[in-house]
Amino acid sequence: MDTRFFVTWMEEITAAVRAARDHLTRLDAAIGDADHGTNLDRGFSAVAEALAARPPATPGGALVLAGSTLIRKVGGASGPLYGTAFREAGKTLGETPEVSTAELAAALEAGLAGVRRLGGAEEGDKTMVDALAPAVRALARAVHEGGTAGEALDAAAAAAEDGAKATIPLQARKGRASYLGPRSIGHEDPGAASTALILDALRTVGSR
């Protein structure tokens, strides 16, 4: 996976977020402040512009630029969280021009650690961590089992999707939704849903 792959991943996310904007905002309207789709659309549109204006030289550079842009442009809590995830992942990749599936797994693991450190969420709190953590585990497992890159990205995307759906019966313990207490039960967490979208975009780019 080269720089082009990672730039294409970001472009794929931008398109997917745009298509799902209203869906994400509806999920957020149920248990949050109804801005998740709009915020991410603004953030990833800015990422696409930044990548076009300042083409990165490495995969790590692409992720760091995407992360820094999200932190500055999203405006909601998902900005610092996704921004930190991409920045930490990018920093982990360093200057390498070609990323193996194992290196990608390690990078996403660093991204997850960054999200946990910043937001303090654990699995089961009904946040993006509920989709990202299983995806990172699935990716690491697939690498360990020696599957193809396509199989590994497929497993990660499926795990994120399952993790997002599994937030529906949970009561939120972090973020704006936690103010609702038991009334947060019965709704999919918008952050987990957008994380599943991001991993699905990775699968799409990997399958081409």
Q: Nearest-CA neighbor of 119 among 27, 63, 195?
A: 195
Contact predicate 9/39, CB 8 Å: no
d(CA 68, CA 146): 33
The site map against another protein for 59-98 (x = CB under 8 A) is ------------xxxxxxxxxxx--x--------------
Q: Give the shortest CB-8-to-another protein separation in angstroms.
A: 27
Does 173 help bind another protein (rule: CB under 8 A)? no
Nearer of residues 59 and 119 to another protein, judged by Cβ: 119
Contact predicate 9/205, CB 8 Å: yes
Does 169 help bind another protein (rule: CB under 8 A)? no
Q: 59 Cβ partners below 8 Å, 6+ apart? A: 1, 2, 3, 5, 6, 90, 93, 96, 97, 98, 99
Does 23 help bind another protein (rule: CB under 8 A)? no
Q: Residue from 175, 190, 191, 206 that binds another protein (CB under 8 A)?
A: 175
Footprint of another protein on this chain (CB under 8 A)?
A: 33, 35, 39, 71-81, 84, 118-119, 175-176
